[in-house]
Chains A and B, each alone.
Chain A
Amino acid sequence: MAIVSLSYKYLEWLTGTDKETILKRIPMIGSEIERIEEDHVDVEFFPNRPDLFSVEGAARAMRGFLGIETGLPKYSVKPSGIKFTIDPKLADIRPCLGSAIIRNVSFDDESILSIMALQEALHWAVGRGRSKVAIGIHDLDTVIPPFHYTASPRSRMFVPLDFTKELTLDGILAEHPKGRDYAKIVKDFSLYPLITDDEDHVCSFPPIINGERTRVTTKTRNILLDVTGTDQRAVNVAANIICTAMAEAGATIESVEINGVATPSLTPTERTVSVRECCDLVGVELTARQMAELLEKMRFGAKPVGTDRVRVQVPCYRADIMHDWDLFEDVAIAYGYDNFDVQIPPTFSIGKEHMATMVSGQVRTILSGLGYLEMMPFTLTNERVLYDYLQRPRSPHVLHLMHPISEEYTVVRTEILPLLLEMLQVNRHRELPQRIFATGDVVADLLTMQHLATASTHPAADFSEAYAHADAVLRELGITYTVRESNDDAFIDGRRADIIVSGKKVGIFGEVHPAVLAAFGLEHPVVAFELDIRAAPGYPSH
């Protein structure tokens, strides 16, 4: 998640309002306050709004939301006359490039950290961990234009950021911390992306690391921005977000010519939307003028066109506006979620319980009547508990998690009884008798079905109890069954029975084998019962 640190002093200066108002209203723009500190507040913004990941961006939105400055923010871009070339060999490696010249910046240590934090947040939210987009920021006065984005041999050497010696590109992937973190993005290519100036000084090895030579310091006054990636739209958005944030802080933006195109353009895109459609979605009656005003509070340019249309200019940094409804959500936010006169949906319908949950409820009624307490164990478990402890063969139908979180939870249960025995183990010190049950999902191959299982433990627990209780449940569920000698090694031979319905085994009951009890550390006899609930007449099939 993107957590942005906003300093009150800077934020108050940028928004022209006080800290209390900001803290009170900032959640209503779409954020969560993580921590309120003496001099700053940590706020989590949603990943669809990377334009809010900087103090400048958040302040821009707050000024609109609070009505201090509304409408489309205007950014002017002058041509810098600088060119940036792209090597066609990058087409299958990392083809997309964005760039800009940012002049008249003034950095202190804090604002350098702040721009780096924005860069990292964009790498996460827009760049998908730098694979889709990576950003480099350089001191323009250390390099000589034009610049060249090339596919370079891996033996090329330069001094990466935070190092003092030259390394090859492969050396950087092996030795530099950032190289190790991000090597997987480029390591399969025979040539690596590289950005150099006209005298062949290395600016950066995207998406891995910049060169030490172009490091941004408190003395830096002018910046060269490079944004590389695999998706031109995402590259442009990242560049736009950085440029507009810097412009908010007082810098001037100049364009760079890439393949004959001046970038960035920072011009808004346009959408003409229906007032009726907006009102029907949001549930609030608005005129075209009111809707336009609300959109202006969200920093869109908005002009009514007749009574049912609004022409909207979407700022270049709003990556999330993909559909008209995205604008309507902003109308609702500007209107204020706390100002809605809420209403229950008028749709009339008749409630209907699902057969499967209804039968689970009946199982609970029957077993409660027999004195059993319900348990709700996990559906995730492991094959030791599920099979080995019960002296059962491991099932070929069990589903294995590809990346389990721990050795305890590696598969999805195919039976419930082993989990109940685990529950008895957890409750060993509790008063006897203990009679427990569980009902719920089990999975074999890709099929989810429902089982019930019971376990009863006390010094006199025996086969006749197991049979009597299994019989009661089966009778109450309306299941006609027969039994036959079972060969399930979880139970004692001669004290175990398979439950047969229409010639198919649907369950088992009996006295749990002492070796199984020992495996679970249980000291008293346990009798148990498990049933595939699908045996109940009329049970729905998937």
Chain B
Amino acid sequence: MAELTLNEKRLLAALKGKAGKVVDVPQLAAAMEATPEAVVQWAYLAMDKGLVHLDRIVDKAFVYTDEGTAYRTAGLPETQLLRAIGGAGTPLADLQKHPAFKIGFGQLRKKGLIAVKDGVVTPSAGASTADDEVALANPRAAGARAKELIKRKLLTETESVRHTVTLTPAGASLAAQGLDLKEEIGTLTRDQILSGAWKNANLRRYDIHKLPKTVYPGKSHPYQRLIDEMRQILLEMGFAEMHGGIVQSAFWNFDALFQPQDHPAREMQDTFYLKEEAPLPEGWERLRDMHEHGGETSSTGWGGKWNPDKAKQCVLRTHTTSLSIQYLVNHPEPPVKAFCIGRVYRREAIDPTHTPEFEQLEGIVMDEGVTFRHLLGFLKEFYQRMGFEDVRFRPGFFPYTEPSVEPEIYVNGLGWVEMGGAGVFRQEVTAPWGVTYPVLAWGLGVSRVAMFRLGLKDLRQLYQSDLEWIRNSPVHAPAKVGRRA
């Protein structure tokens, strides 16, 4: 049997010795110094355990309205009017002056107790309102006539509920065994803790099956948590984090990455250009030579004339690779391992799979002896740590890397999905800055990983988020993207 609360025990104690006897709740409440409502509640709990029986009794009572009360002494309007008509009848015109005429006349006509002929009202044979008067005097016995009086708003019917409690044999035996009636405590107070009163206190047992109120903690964005997971992986692998501006000159965004000046990706259809210009960095002439004829490398260069004005134009960075190359310029000696996750900008109209700004995971490894094979090793390790077991590599093309690769991950239901680009920086990119060792580089899509990991169909949810979604996205959300079947 479930544990009894103190109040249930007190109820049993109050009923002790009254097994089988019907006890009114108000009487019990008085004895227990509690409200009848509280006693009913305790009795319900005790009834669930079979210790008492609780009866709910509904009493009906008729109450006279002010109008009904008045008629009880003066008689119903029809009685008054019948009396005024008398046995021989009365002219209608005289009768209309009677105060009860309006209601009484209607009732008499309805009941067929009068007739009107030549302007004179006469009672029908044996006309009497005695039954209605009896009903008004004693509505409890009146049945349908009482209903009629309620309709006439002379009476109202009220229901009153009372409860009785009867101790069951099980309750009686429990009560006979003796009950511990020590005081129960709800909220523990400072006084009780300090005074030691808690030692003798009876801490009330709570119903743990009742659902709690939903509260939402403050937290970082689900997408930010995923970004932090990626940052964590890179930091654990020993990478230093890069950081830089979102406005870049075309020089760093394109030219330094050996993108020819007439490359379609540089056109304004794909890139957000700004009217501002930035000065060229020291050493820009070496880059010009690289574009025009390959500088001092085995490269032929792109040929043609390289235009410094085109390189000065500012753009919103189209990739964070613009930060990688500047980082290399500032750190030309090996080893270098650096990464960043930052917003990049492409001139794309917004739809469920495209946004004009999105995150890119950028990274470089520069050291003596690193090779393309190590680049593939890094990519595989990274995606596996992000929960994507199956990784494969396809040749790719980027103007600034050679060899180039497009890593793909296997996603159940979708197949192989391309995740970004990677490669070894071309000598045309590194040589102008005195970087002589190979540079492994990658720029990976972050929002695509987010779509798979967060189960999103629409990229816009990342940037124009529904609060309910954030509230209901658990902080701990480990990868569960399945392995290839």
Q: Which residues of B contact A377 (CB under 8 A)?
A: 463-464
With a 10 A CB-CB cut-off, give which of B223, B273, B376 has the most chain A CB atoms: B376
A344 CB → nearest B CB, Å? 4
How many Å lie between the Cα of A283 and that of B367 in the bound state?
13
B15-71 contacts to A (CB < 8 Å): none
B54-97 contacts to A (CB < 8 Å): none
Residue A182 at the B interface, CB < 8 A?
A: no
Residue A426 at the B interface, CB < 8 A?
A: yes
Contact B374 A30 (CB under 8 A): no
Contact A345 B273 (CB under 8 A): no
- Given contacts A128-B264, A322-B300, A341-B373, whether A400 and B275 have CB atoms under 8 Å apart is yes
A92 CB → nearest B CB, Å? 14
Contact B357 A380 (CB under 8 A): yes
Residue B405 at the A interface, CB < 8 A?
A: yes
Contact A46 B219 (CB under 8 A): no
Residue A42 at the B interface, CB < 8 A?
A: no
User: A68-76, A203-211, A326-334, A512-520: which one contacts chain B?
Assistant: A326-334
Chain B, residue nearest A404 (CB): B272
How many Å lie between the Cα of A448 and that of B438 in the bound state?
31
How many Å lie between the Cα of A470 and that of B217 in the bound state?
19
A340 CB → nearest B CB, Å? 5
- Given contacts A364-B224, A374-B219, A405-B349, whether A542 and B335 have CB atoms under 8 Å apart is no
B109 CB → nearest A CB, Å? 60
How many Å lie between the Cα of A28 and that of B276 in the bound state?
43
How many Å lie between the Cα of A326 and that of B221 in the bound state?
43
Q: Which residues of A contact B337 (CB under 8 A)?
A: 345, 347, 349
How many Å lie between the Cα of A195 and that of B482 in the bound state?
62
How many Å lie between the Cα of A3 and that of B65 in the bound state?
91
How many Å lie between the Cα of A198 and that of B273 in the bound state?
48
How many Å lie between the Cα of A320 and that of B404 in the bound state?
13
B423-452 contacts to A (CB < 8 Å): 424, 426-428, 438, 440
Residue B285 at the A interface, CB < 8 A?
A: no
- Given contacts A337-B395, A345-B377, A446-B276, whether A426 and B238 have CB atoms under 8 Å apart is no
Q: How many residues of B contact A (CB 8 A)?
A: 98
How many Å lie between the Cα of A328 and that of B242 in the bound state?
30
- Given contacts A233-B303, A283-B371, A342-B377, whether A367 and B218 have CB atoms under 8 Å apart is yes
Residue A101 at the B interface, CB < 8 A?
A: no
Contact A344 B396 (CB under 8 A): no
Contact A374 B224 (CB under 8 A): yes
Q: Which residues of A contact B272 (CB under 8 A)?
A: 401-404
Q: Which residues of A contact B375 (CB under 8 A)?
A: 345
Residue B474 at the A interface, CB < 8 A?
A: no
Residue A13 at the B interface, CB < 8 A?
A: no
Contact B221 A340 (CB under 8 A): no
Contact A406 B395 (CB under 8 A): no
The residue from B234, B275, B467 contacting A427, defined by CB atoms under 8 A apart:
B467
B224 CB → nearest A CB, Å? 6
Q: How many residues of A contact B (CB 8 A)?
A: 93
Q: Which residues of B contact A32 (CB under 8 A)?
A: 394, 418
Chain B, residue nearest A326 (CB): B402
Contact B247 A48 (CB under 8 A): no
Q: Which residues of A contact B275 (CB under 8 A)?
A: 400, 402
Chain B, residue nearest A30 (CB): B395
Contact B247 A342 (CB under 8 A): no
A206 CB → nearest B CB, Å? 18
- Given contacts A401-B274, A448-B247, whether A430 and B466 have CB atoms under 8 Å apart is yes
Residue A168 at the B interface, CB < 8 A?
A: no
Interface mask (B335-367 → A, CB under 8 Å = 1, otherwise 0)? 101001001010111100001110000000101
With a 10 A CB-CB cut-off, give which of A282, A357, A431 has the most chain B CB atoms: A357
A311 CB → nearest B CB, Å? 14
How many Å lie between the Cα of A446 and that of B395 in the bound state?
37
How many Å lie between the Cα of A446 and that of B63 in the bound state?
85
User: B110-118, B170-178, B291-299: which one contacts chain A?
Assistant: B291-299
B215 CB → nearest A CB, Å? 9
A2 CB → nearest B CB, Å? 11
Residue B284 at the A interface, CB < 8 A?
A: no
User: A82-90, A172-180, A434-442: which one contacts chain B?
Assistant: A434-442
With a 10 A CB-CB cut-off, give which of B268, B371, B424 has the most chain A CB atoms: B371
Contact A376 B426 (CB under 8 A): no
Contact A542 B244 (CB under 8 A): yes
Contact A357 B218 (CB under 8 A): no
How many Å lie between the Cα of A541 and that of B79 in the bound state?
103
Residue B198 at the A interface, CB < 8 A?
A: no
Interface mask (B365-384 → A, CB under 8 Å = 1, otherwise 0)? 10101111111111011000
B152 CB → nearest A CB, Å? 49
Q: Which residues of A contact B268 (CB under 8 A)?
A: 402-403
How many Å lie between the Cα of A338 and that of B228 in the bound state?
31
Contact A430 B467 (CB under 8 A): yes
A280-330 contacts to B (CB < 8 Å): 280-284, 322-326, 328-329
Contact A368 B217 (CB under 8 A): yes
- Given contacts A282-B372, A282-B403, A344-B377, whether A372 and B299 have CB atoms under 8 Å apart is no
Q: Which residues of A contact B466 (CB under 8 A)?
A: 426-427, 430
Chain A, residue nearest B239 (CB): A351
Q: Which residues of B contact A332 (CB under 8 A)?
A: 372, 395, 403
Contact A354 B356 (CB under 8 A): no
Chain A, residue nearest B365 (CB): A345
Contact A346 B274 (CB under 8 A): no
Residue A478 at the B interface, CB < 8 A?
A: no
Q: Which residues of B contact A328 (CB under 8 A)?
A: 402-403
Contact B235 A351 (CB under 8 A): yes
The residue from A46, A326, A345 contacting B396, defined by CB atoms under 8 A apart:
A46
Contact A403 B347 (CB under 8 A): yes
Contact B247 A443 (CB under 8 A): yes
Contact B402 A329 (CB under 8 A): yes
Contact A379 B235 (CB under 8 A): no
How many Å lie between the Cα of A328 and that of B402 in the bound state?
8
Report the 5 A-B pairs with minimum CB-CB distance, sorted nearest first.
A283-B371, A283-B373, A46-B397, A30-B395, A329-B403
Apart from the given pairs A326-B402, A352-B240, A436-B467, 19 other A-B contacts in the complex at a CB distance below 8 Å = A30-B396, A322-B301, A323-B299, A328-B402, A340-B393, A347-B238, A347-B365, A352-B241, A353-B231, A354-B242, A357-B241, A357-B243, A371-B218, A378-B357, A405-B347, A405-B350, A440-B343, A446-B276, A448-B246
A-B CB contact pairs (8 Å), 29 listed: A27-B394, A30-B397, A280-B369, A280-B438, A281-B371, A283-B371, A322-B299, A322-B302, A322-B428, A323-B294, A340-B393, A347-B337, A347-B365, A349-B238, A351-B238, A351-B239, A353-B231, A353-B241, A370-B218, A373-B470, A374-B219, A375-B221, A375-B470, A377-B464, A400-B274, A405-B349, A423-B464, A431-B468, A448-B245
- A-side interface residues toward B, CB under 8 Å? 27-30, 32, 46-49, 124, 128-129, 131-132, 231, 233, 271, 280-284, 322-326, 328-329, 332-333, 337-338, 340-354, 356-357, 361, 364, 367-380, 399-406, 409, 412, 423, 426-427, 430-431, 434-436, 440-441, 443, 445-448, 540, 542
